[in-house]
Amino acid sequence: MAHKGFPEGFYWGAATAANQCEGAWDVDGKSPSIADCLVKGGVNEARRITLDIDEGKYLYPSHQATDFYHHYKEDIRLLADMGLKMFRMSINCTRIFPTGDEDEPNEAGLAFYENVFRELKKYGIEPLVTLCHNDMPLAFTREFNGFKDRRTIDYFVRFAEVVFMRYKEYVRYWLPFNEINCTMRPTGNWHHAGILNPGTTTFRNQVDDPQARFQALHHLFVASARMVKLGRSICPDFHFGSMIAYGTVYPGTCNPEDVLLAQREDKIKNHFCGDVLVFGKYPYYAKQYFDDLGIEIEMTDEDLKDLREGTVDFFTFSYYNSNCLGSTTTGEIVHGNYVDGVKNPYLEYTPWGWGIDPIGLRYTLNNVYDRYQLPIIITENGLGTVDEPIRNEDGSVTVEDDYRINYLSQHIAQMKRAIVEDGVDLIGYTAWSAIDMISLSTGEYKKRYGFIFVDVDDEGNGSMKRYPKKSFGWYKHVIETNGEEL
């Protein structure tokens, strides 16, 4: 049946990731994760990766982040005030099995997330849980280069089993790995596969070994499928989704060469991983792609069986910007979320160079739904920019973030059109981000996305007090009117 607007029960939500908000990086038994050795960078300064953590010398933003670990009750109460229906968060595995060698999981880590889930339940907020949002024990990289090694599959399956058993009364919606398709690019080596090749010093320019990277991606697929199978056997009520970083790509010109190039980029960078997760097998174009790169993936019959049996039942993706690509295209190169492209003259850009393209979201929703025909949740979308806090006489802070309201309302309007005019089965939206956090790509505090301002500056100094921004009241109204009034 065609909808007139957002369907009833639409999951209006917002998202976070453990290593960007929790802080408390070495508290209650947690071990260092691969996120904890990333130094703060900036728009023109790539984040350094230091295997040895030297806090005297560098600022590692994840160590403190915005201290959700000690503020979760207050933060969740505020999100409940905003009327949130769904909260996307991740569990940091280094709180549960800190090194992977433990016989028993770390009770303090398990108790923390149980408290978070209890708090969400108190307010009737549905959790959507990412099992791995760019975290794994740093020891894995040191010892065997993370997902390059099969042992990492077993670690994550064991971690998932403990988590499923413990939280099955609280959580129904799960995402095995955040933005798994970032491993299609060299930048995915570190964050997504835990691989550090000799010579890599920064997150942006990593030394790449495609053979190792794609073997790691295969292990990520197998781990994902085994987690899905296991989860379903533990609780038939569980739902599992993909999580794809959608780098929407347009041809730079109408030159057929450019059109072909953009189509190929879309297939390889955006669809390849979704195809494996949804259809349970490598796509037909994978063989040629691997042959061209001279890659041979080691895979067992059991791996292939698990891929077939552990497919996802809903589709999620992040969307921030689009990019233009072309063999004959020239112009200023701009960066987006993990992708570079030629500047699009029809778009405006954020101070970080990300092209603002609400219609691109409708295009992407159609593209994804045409291919997979599964219910969709947009698990990340938002505007990262500088907020200027206005300090009031009573010491409180106000942020007039009309630019964020503008960004979000334009994107939500296109979501509505995709539902109403195009028939896309969109069931939820978890905007990035629920509350201010540190940026993943630059590690800055000042690149803010949240509905709630956290009083902390770019050097990590401040009261850490929380203040609703203007967008908070605006989003509350959007939720109350089920997206009718933007």
Window contacting ligand BG6 (CB under 6 A); options: 87-95, 279-287, 404-412, 432-440: 432-440
DSSP secondary structure of 376-396: EEEEE----B---PEEPTTS-
Stretch 6-65 residues interacting with ligand BG6 (CB under 6 A)? 17, 20
Taking the C-alpha atoms of residue 218 and residue 183, their distance in angstroms, rounded to an integer, is 10
Minimum CB distance to ligand BG6 smaller for 141 or for 439: 439
> Which residue from 231, 441, 445, 450 is in contact with ligand BG6, where contact means CB under 6 A?
441
DSSP 3-state of 46: coil
Residues 366-405 that bind ligand BG6 (CB under 6 A): 380, 384
User: How far from 159 is each of 87, 102, 199, CA to CA, in Å?
Assistant: 21, 11, 31
Percentages of the chain per state (helix, strand, coil), in multiples of 5: 40, 15, 45
Q: How many angstroms separate the CA atoms of 298 and 421, rounded?
A: 45
Residue 275 or 380: which CB sits closer to ligand BG6? 380
User: Per-residue DSSP letters for 229-258?
Assistant: HHHHHH-TT-EEB--EE--EEEESSS-HHH
Comparing CB distances to ligand BG6, the nearer of 20 and 31 is 20
Quick one: 41 or 231, whose CB is closer to ligand BG6?
A: 41
Does 323 bind ligand BG6 (CB under 6 A)? Our answer is no
Chain residues 266-305 in contact with ligand BG6, contact rule CB under 6 A: none
CB 447 → ligand BG6: shortest distance, Å?
A: 5
Nearest to residue 309, comparing CAs of 226, 240, 392?
Answer: 226
CB 117 within 8 A of CB 171: yes
Of the candidates 126, 179, 265, 444, the residue annotated as catalytic is: 179
Rule CB under 6 A: is residue 439 a binding residue for ligand BG6?
yes
- In the complex, the smallest distance separating the C-beta of residue 273 from ligand BG6, rounded to whole angstroms, is 14
Pick the piece of the chain touching ligand BG6 (CB under 6 A) from 32-40, 212-220, 438-446, 451-459.
438-446
Structure tokens, 232:
């379903």
Residue 337 binds ligand BG6 (CB under 6 A): yes
Q: Which is nearer to ligand BG6, 134 or 145 (CB)?
A: 134
CB of 155 to ligand BG6, least distance (A): 21
430 to 12, 75, 89, 279, 367: CA distances (angstroms): 6, 16, 10, 25, 20
The residue among 14 and 307 lying less far from ligand BG6, judged by its C-beta, is 14
Residue nearer to ligand BG6 on the CB measure, 266 or 380: 380
| Residue range at the interface with ligand BG6 (CB under 6 A); choices 67-75, 119-127, 343-351, 440-448 | 440-448
State the residue number with the nearest CB to ligand BG6: 441
Q: Which stretch binds ligand BG6 (CB under 6 A): 47-55, 363-371, 419-427, 437-445?
A: 437-445
Cβ of 256: how many Cβ atoms within 10 Å? 9
CB of 384 to ligand BG6, least distance (A): 4
Out of 271, 447, 448, 469, the only residue in the binding site for ligand BG6 (CB under 6 A) is 447
- Extract the tokens encoding 115: 């408290």
Which amino acid belongs to residue 406?
Answer: N
| Beta carbon of residue 13, minimum distance to ligand BG6 (angstroms, whole number) | 15
Using omega within 30 degrees of 0 as the cis cutoff, is the peptide bond preceding 433 cis?
yes
Is 380 annotated in the active site?
yes
State both tokens at 356. 């603002």
Could you tell me the sign of the dihedral formed by the alpha carbons of 430, 436, 442, 447, in that order? Answer: positive
Of positions 66, 318, 322, 329, contacts ligand BG6 by CB under 6 A = 318
Q: Which helix (H) or strand (E) holds 188?
A: helix 188-193
Catalytic annotation, pick one of 380, 393, 444, 480: 380
Residue 146, classified by CB atoms within 10 Å of its CB into exposed (0-12), middle (13-18) or buried (19+), is buried
Catalytic residue list: 179, 380
Give the footprint of ligand BG6 on this chain (CB under 6 A): 17, 20, 178-179, 245, 318, 337, 380, 384, 432, 439-441, 447
